[in-house]
Structure 1
Amino acid sequence: MRVLHKGGGENDIDVMPDLRENTIPHQSNFGFSKLLLALLLILFLLKEILLSFYIRFCLSFKKFQLLEDKNYKRFIKEMIHTNLKCVRINSTMEGKVWSYCPENWKSFSSSCYFFSTDAKSWKESQENCSRMAAHLVVINSKEEQDFLTQNLDKNAAYFVGLSDPEGQGHWQWVDQTPYKQSATFWLPGEPTHSEEPCVIVNHLRASLQWGWNDALCKNRDRSVCEMMKIYL
């Protein structure tokens, strides 16, 4: 501290605190704050690095699992499309967390669907689906029928996997699913001709509704392919 002499006498003194002493705690607090901020910044960067590493590890592990899956190996061997779209699912299936569909296919329930934009005969359409490890769509419920019609072009007709090869009214699905009259969506008055053994889905402008219609198998129409999802 500094000692100040007053003019009254040689022994009169006044003691004045050194102001620099009061600044020391403030400097110390400021230095501590800078250190704390630096530590927080380091922790944040470390967290981001670890998170990035974890995500990369999980994706690599999931890719490894996918490559080892037998269904995927068959899928890749037979598919002409190898890019997949994965979706995290809330599933009760033990150990199944992700579902996969080919890119440019649409997902509904446990299946993937491909909506063609080119026209082929029923047989050519089924062969095209087979080349993609799929089959012409098999419709099992009103929910599935509604999902399909929401994705169809009203100005086109689409072959499905239902046919009557013998023309005797014995309708058969391509995957051998039993044909149930109670789960059919024929347009009013259909089917009409035994000479039209293949089935299309189209939009009837007169009644503004979608439904099934029997048609010639040699007609060239669009189609819908279906395949089961891959679960991992």
Structure 2
Amino acid sequence: MTAGQIQDNHQRDQLQRRDEGKLNNMSYDLQHLVKQVREIVKMMVRVRDLQCETDWKIFSGSYYCISTEKKSWTSSREDCIAKGADLAIIDSQEEKDLLSGLESSGADIWIGLTDNVQEGTWMWVDGTHVTTKYWADGQPNSKGGNQDCGEMWLKGTWNDELCSTENIWICEK
């Protein structure tokens, strides 16, 4: 091996070590960025989950929180469950008045009411049958035969609606 070849091999080895060092640094930087992104996502989830933590309203031993976004009935219920709650169950005029007063824009609001187990048999999300009823005139009508989820209209009257409709919702715990 000539002196030039030895020098070329030495330079190649130095370049290879330098490139490996750069790759290791880049790999470390990438891992660090991934870790930071994961932390940011965790913080965003905590912020979403805490949305209601400071805004829960109390009434007769229950806590209520109204969403600020719109989702289907099922997605709304999943959000409530993730917060350790469920969609609201209304068993009195006072509770209905309180809940209808939480939302002032007149938006429709998902509550924990459904007849998706048996058409025409309305039940709450906890499996109990509806005894106190605040249906709007002509409701429930199962328009089109597939309105299986309950929503609350302005003034607290109830309506049956397609479960895929996106509404705000009220969680209760």
- Quick one: distance in 1 between partners of 2:105 and 2:123? 25
TM-score w.r.t. the length of structure 1 is: 0.50
- Quick one: distance in 2 between partners of 1:151 and 1:210? 10
1:185 to 108, 118, 134: 134
Percent of matched pairs sharing the same residue? 35
- Note if contact 2:99-2:156 (Cα within 8 Å) is conserved in structure 1: no
2:165 aligned partner: 219
Instruction: Give the structure, 1 or 2, with the largest relative contact order (CA under 8 Å, sep 6 or more).
Output: 2
- Quick one: distance in 2 between partners of 1:167 and 1:196? 12
TM-score w.r.t. the length of structure 2 is: 0.67
- Quick one: distance in 2 between partners of 1:166 and 1:175? 13
> Aligned to 2:166, what secondary structure does the other structure show?
coil
Q: What is the deviation of 1:151?
A: 1.2
Count of residues in Structure 1 that have an aligned counterpart in Structure 2 = 124
> What amino acid sits opposite 1:219 in the alignment?
T
- Runs of 4+ in structure 1 deviating by more than 6 angstroms, as ranges, are none
- Quick one: distance in 2 between partners of 1:167 and 1:195? 11
Q: What is the deviation of 1:217?
A: 0.1
- Note if contact 1:167-1:195 (Cα within 8 Å) is conserved in structure 2: no
> What is the alpha-carbon root mean square deviation over aligned residues?
2.0
> Aligned to 1:102, what secondary structure does the other structure show?
coil
> What amino acid sits opposite 2:50 in the alignment?
H
1:210 aligned partner: 156
1:130 aligns with 2:130: no
1:80 aligns with 2:26: no
Q: What is the deviation of 1:166?
A: 3.9
1:151 to 88, 102, 107: 102
Say which structure is richer in strand.
1
Which one has the largest radius of gyration? 1
Once the two structures are superposed, residues 25-52 of structure 1 have per-residue CA deviations (whole angstroms, 9 ceiling, x without a partner) of xxxxxxxxxxxxxxxxxxxxxxxxxxxx
Show structure 1 runs of 5+ residues with no match. 1-78, 83-100, 204-208, 228-232
Show structure 2 runs of 5+ residues with no match. 1-47
- Note if contact 2:87-2:111 (Cα within 8 Å) is conserved in structure 1: yes
